[in-house]
Chains A and B, each alone.
Chain A
Amino acid sequence: MNGDRKKNRAPLAAFLLALAAIGASASFFFVSFRGEIVLQWLALLLALAGLIWGVVGVRRAYGQSQIYGGKVTAPIFAVIALLVLGLMGFGWKSARQLPASTGAPQVGQKAPDFTLSDSNGQQVSLAQLLQPAAGGAPKAVLLIFYRGYW
Chain B
Amino acid sequence: MRGVEKNLKEFEQAGVRPVAISVDSPELSRNLANKAGYTFPILSDPGAVVIRHYDLLHKAAGPDGSDISRPAEFLVDDKGVVRWVNFTEDIRIRARADQMLAAAKAIQ
Chain A contacts to B: CB under 8 angstroms: 28, 32-34, 36-37, 40, 95-96, 98-99, 101-114, 116-121, 124, 126-127, 129-130, 133, 135-150
Chain B residues, CB < 8 A from A142: 4, 11, 16-19, 73-76, 100, 104
Contact between chains at A116 and B45 (CB < 8 Å): yes
> Which single member of B3, B81, B88, B96 contacts A98 (CB below 8 Å)?
B88
Q: How far is the CA of A95 from the CA of B45 in the complex (A)?
A: 23
Given contacts A99-B56, A139-B107, contact A28 B71 (CB under 8 A): no
Q: How far is the CA of A108 from the CA of B87 in the complex (A)?
A: 16
Chain A residues, CB < 8 A from B61: 147
Contact between chains at B91 and A95 (CB < 8 Å): yes
Q: How far is the CA of A8 from the CA of B61 in the complex (A)?
A: 43
Q: How far is the CA of A143 from the CA of B53 in the complex (A)?
A: 14
Q: Given contacts A32-B97, A99-B70, A120-B30, list 13 more A-B pairs with CB under 8 A.
A: A32-B2, A95-B91, A114-B49, A124-B43, A138-B16, A139-B14, A140-B107, A141-B16, A142-B17, A146-B71, A147-B69, A147-B71, A148-B62
> Which single member of B19, B54, B100 contacts A105 (CB below 8 Å)?
B54
CB distance from A34 to the nearest CB of B (A): 7
> Which single member of A37, A40, A95, A119 contacts B41 (CB below 8 Å)?
A119
Chain B residues, CB < 8 A from A33: 96
B65 contacts chain A at the CB level, 8 A cutoff: no
Chain B residues, CB < 8 A from A116: 21, 43-45, 50
Q: How far is the CA of A98 from the CA of B97 in the complex (A)?
A: 22
In the complex, the chain A residue whose C-beta lies closest to that of B14 is A139
Chain A residues, CB < 8 A from B85: 104-107
Chain A residues, CB < 8 A from B62: 147-148, 150
In the complex, the chain A residue whose C-beta lies closest to that of B44 is A117
CB distance from A121 to the nearest CB of B (A): 5
Contact between chains at A137 and B15 (CB < 8 Å): yes
> Which single member of B1, B14, B41, B55 contacts A146 (CB below 8 Å)?
B1
Chain B residues, CB < 8 A from A110: 80-82
